[in-house]
Chains A and B, each alone.
Chain A
Amino acid sequence: MNKPTTVADSASKRNTDSSTSKVVKKLTKVVSEQHIWIFLILCMVVFSFASPYFLTLNNLGNVLTQGSFIGLLAVGMTLVMINGEIDLSVGAVLALASALAIGLQPSIGVWPAILVALLAGTFFGFINGAIVAMSGMHSFVVTLGALIGIRGVVFVYTGEQALMVEDFSYTEYVEIYLGPLSLTAMIFIGFALLFQWVLSNTRHGREAYAIGDNIKSAHEAGIRIKRHKIINFALCSFLAAVAGVLLSMRLGTAEPNAGRIWELWTIIAIVLGGTRLTGGYGSMWKTLGGVITLAVLLNGLRLLNTPNYIELMVMGVVLILALILDKTLASRQAR
């Protein structure tokens, strides 16, 4: 500022400034570290011009709700990925939880069915984690097996049919809105924020980075790696089960094919966000950004009536563009 200011002036300004400048500083820091948010804003600007329906509160609320399912999977998988592992079984676990939540309702009631669905999901995550941690096999292989096996369980349980909910009031449980924000979206964002806090402020969260970053030094420092990984796999599957239950509420049916290849979209969302597949680096902020960007892209392309196969091509190109952007920005900052 070139204009001379009086002492009193600047003092009062400093008072009001300090809180806003803090927020601005924090925001710029987040954005500069999380390139995905820049990319997201870019996408939103493009779609706002391309379609008049895009930038409406209603549509944006929808985008968030639609993104929440992949989002919940991604929150869990981010934990696993920071550990340097991967969980390919999330889509199958989602389908299982969704089938159990609907299929068990007539016999044991709605809430017990949901509870069983969540427990079953968590159980399979625990098994995945235990096998990975104990056997030393790569989680890619273990969870690839789980993906096929659990999907098989779903087909057996549903008898290869879509299960329909008998009492349709079940689908109204999630019809709670805070403005444009649905309950599903709130649950997703809530879990993302919770686990971001866990990652940055708890022992378990920091250990996740230590293990993914340098497993040898983590082991030598006495961190209980096996226990830690099992917990993260269980959390990951629990969140997948939550997504499954929410999906069954939203649709009122449970398809045995639900969530098929969603594990791939989940990985794409996470990588798009900037979390590293190799472990040791990442955050829920990045994943949140990646998930929303993916949802915005899908939504924008649909609003523009893009044919399905073109949509896939665009998504592929965009994914690579976003990663190039991340690489260039990161190397510029390193300089």
Chain B
Amino acid sequence: MSNIVLTADKITKVFPGVIALDKVSFDIKAGEVHALMGENGAGKSTLMKVLSGIYQPDGGAIHHLGKLVVVSSPKEARALGILLVHQELSLSPELSVAENIYLGEWPTNRFGILKKRLMNNLAQKALDSLGSDIDPQIRCGSLSIAKQQMVEIARTLAFNANVVIFDEPTGTLTNTEKVQLFDVIRSLKKSGVAIVYISHKMDEIFEITDRITVLRDGEVQGTVSTAESSVADITKRMIGRDLDQYFHRAKSEIGHVILELHNLSKDGLFRNVSFSVRKGEVVGLYGLIGAGRSEVAETIFGVRQRDSGEVIFDGNDVNYSSPREAIQGGMTLVPEDRKGQGLILGMGGRHNMTLPHLDMFSKMGVTNVSDELTVFEDYKARLDIKITGPEQLLSDLSGGNQQKIVLAKWLCAGPKLIILDEPTRGIDVGSKSSIHEHIAQLAEQGLAVIVISSEMPEVIGVSHRILAMANGELVGEFSGKEMTEENLITAVSVLPRAS
């Protein structure tokens, strides 16, 4: 086929202990948007890093425009016309927009002096053709995330890319920004660029792509035409079994109200949020990033201070001024960013578990090690944590086992309410499923559980009831048969209020 731009032929990439890619083959045609799907850890990002020269494959070949090529560095990939638009944007905030666009290829005279005007003009041209009004001379760090993304896309134009790889581009975008991004992708497509689109958001995949290749555990699970496929089909390929068997909803007795919010508000973050959670109930809090979900949770938990409204917890009107008070009150928040907030990777499992509750484990400031070890062994068995011993450093554990340690850490204080913020982000399918199982167990043991998630199948799969949030407001409540992806999308797709 003449219009195939890039072919990956049996690409294999091995990391210590894991085969990240196992003989992966796929191809991209000019003027096509090709989706690459798979759960986290399926190998999508690794594959893209191999194609863009960041990683070197351990086996297999890459053909570009019919020729066998070795992409040994990002610079070479760029010379071939293969550019990656990173998931975490790779810009230097202190450099100007134009400098970022031409990073590594700055036009200079023979003495190494920059031709700033030339560079700014070229950058302006690239930005203009994207229909963007960004000033190329402005500091990149002063731009919004969406605009920074435009700068990265302008880079692909500046280098005449023929293959552009988008790695989870909409993760941090609002709906309007997403629409703009899709317009840009369509115009790139029209000009004959081959586009790889990595995402795990079904709605986007079915809106923008022509073909879909699914990866699971480093292996290709088939390439299908988007028009002839369905969400169920893709999901099945992604997780290797039907969705029904994948989630566990708690079969618990729903008891009295544990937590009640009345018009909780915090300026600029959320307004008039009211809801309640009962004993034994799992409530999903769904919304896009920036909708205010985590902020509500943090306010309940005393990380942030509310402006107005009230929180009634276990019959008492509470206003915690610090997480410490909230923990002592019987509440627990498992944060989203495991490495940043939840765990200390340079410490062992025992220390991490007991860290927030050292009061409980110590007398006059001296910790009782044997109590700690009992708790450690108890939770190691209950949560089936794969750790060699109480002192093994968490940096050696897989993401899923790290997440279990986080759970253990918060459970060993015996809370009445547990809030889980994105409990399964960034962990592999197997661990995900076992975390869902634990969530169900928690509820069955009589805890009230709030699960914050932006993955729709997850909230639908584990919750008894789902609250949808958008732009800092509660925009819908669904239970039973109303909990469908369509309903959730419609609920959160309200336009932001002009304020």
- Residues of chain A touching chain B, judged by Cβ–Cβ distance below 8 Å, are 201-204, 206, 209-210, 213-214, 216-223, 280-281
Contacts and interface: CB of A to CB of B under 8 A. Distances in A.
A222 B93 contact: no
B108 interface: yes
Interface stretch (B112-120, B365-373, B374-382, B457-465): B112-120
Given A203-B108, A220-B54, A213 B94 contact: yes
A217 B112 contact: no
A216 B103 CA distance: 12
Given A206-B99, A222-B73, 6 more contacts: A201-B114, A201-B116, A203-B114, A217-B91, A222-B105, A281-B94
Given A213-B93, A213-B94, A201 B74 contact: no
22 contacts: A201-B113, A202-B108, A202-B111, A202-B112, A203-B106, A203-B108, A203-B113, A204-B112, A206-B95, A206-B99, A209-B94, A213-B92, A213-B95, A218-B104, A220-B54, A221-B75, A221-B105, A222-B73, A222-B75, A280-B92, A280-B93, A280-B94
B225 to A, nearest CB: 33
B92 A222 contact: no
Contacts of A209: 92, 94-95
Interface in B103-147: 103-106, 108, 111-114, 116
B contact face: mostly helix, strand, loop, or mixed = loop
B90 to A, nearest CB: 4
A221 B159 CA distance: 12
Contact of A214 (B75, B92, B108): B92
A280 B91 CA distance: 12
Nearest to A279: B94
A217 B92 contact: yes
Interface string B63-80: 000000000011100100
B386 to A, nearest CB: 31
Contact of B95 (A201, A210, A219, A220): A210
A209 B141 CA distance: 13
A229 to B, nearest CB: 16
A218 to B, nearest CB: 7
A220 B92 CA distance: 12
Nearest to B93: A213
Nearest to A207: B106
Given A218-B104, A220-B74, A202 B114 contact: yes
A220 B155 CA distance: 13
B114 A220 contact: no
Contacts, number: 63
Contacts of B74: 219-222
A206 B116 CA distance: 11
A164 B24 CA distance: 73
A216 B112 contact: no
Contacts of B99: 206, 210
Contacts of A222: 73-75, 78, 104-105
A213 B140 CA distance: 11
A110 B361 CA distance: 72
A220 to B, nearest CB: 4
B103 A223 contact: yes
A201 B109 CA distance: 11
Interface of B: 54, 73-75, 78, 90-95, 99, 103-106, 108, 111-114, 116
Contacts of B78: 222
A214 B78 CA distance: 19
Q: Which 9 A-B pairs have the closest CB atoms?
A: A221-B104, A222-B75, A217-B90, A213-B92, A221-B103, A220-B74, A222-B104, A214-B92, A203-B112
Most chain A CB within a 10 A radius of its CB, from B73, B92, B106, B108: B92
A273 to B, nearest CB: 16
A213 B141 CA distance: 11
A281 B113 CA distance: 20
Contacts of A213: 92-95
Nearest to B142: A334
A214 B104 contact: no
A220 B18 CA distance: 25
A202 B90 CA distance: 22
B191 to A, nearest CB: 24
Contacts of A281: 94
Contacts of A217: 90-92, 103
B120 to A, nearest CB: 13
Nearest to B75: A222
Contacts of B92: 209-210, 213-214, 217-218, 280
Nearest to B53: A220
Contacts of A201: 113-114, 116
Contacts of A219: 74
B43 to A, nearest CB: 20
B108 A223 contact: no
A206 B100 CA distance: 10
A323 B124 CA distance: 37
Nearest to B84: A220
Nearest to B78: A222
A204 B113 CA distance: 8
Nearest to B155: A221
B467 to A, nearest CB: 33
Contacts of B105: 221-222
B333 to A, nearest CB: 28
B278 to A, nearest CB: 42
Given A213-B92, A213-B94, A218 B108 contact: no
Contacts of A280: 92-94
Nearest to B92: A213
Contacts of B91: 214, 217
Contacts of B112: 202-204
A281 B91 CA distance: 14
B116 A214 contact: no
B54 A206 contact: no
A287 to B, nearest CB: 16
Most chain B CB within a 10 A radius of its CB, from A206, A216, A218: A206
A281 B92 CA distance: 10
Contacts of A223: 103-104
A202 B106 CA distance: 10
Nearest to B79: A222
A238 B206 CA distance: 60
A221 B111 CA distance: 21
Given A217-B103, A220-B54, A223-B103, A202 B94 contact: no
Most chain B CB within a 10 A radius of its CB, from A216, A217, A218: A217
A280 B95 CA distance: 9
Contacts of B103: 210, 217-218, 221, 223
Given A203-B106, A206-B99, A216 B90 contact: yes
A324 B108 CA distance: 39
A210 B93 CA distance: 9
Contacts of B94: 209, 213, 280-281
Most chain A CB within a 10 A radius of its CB, from B54, B94, B99, B105: B94
A214 B94 CA distance: 9
A221 to B, nearest CB: 3
Contacts of B111: 202
B113 A202 contact: yes
B202 to A, nearest CB: 30
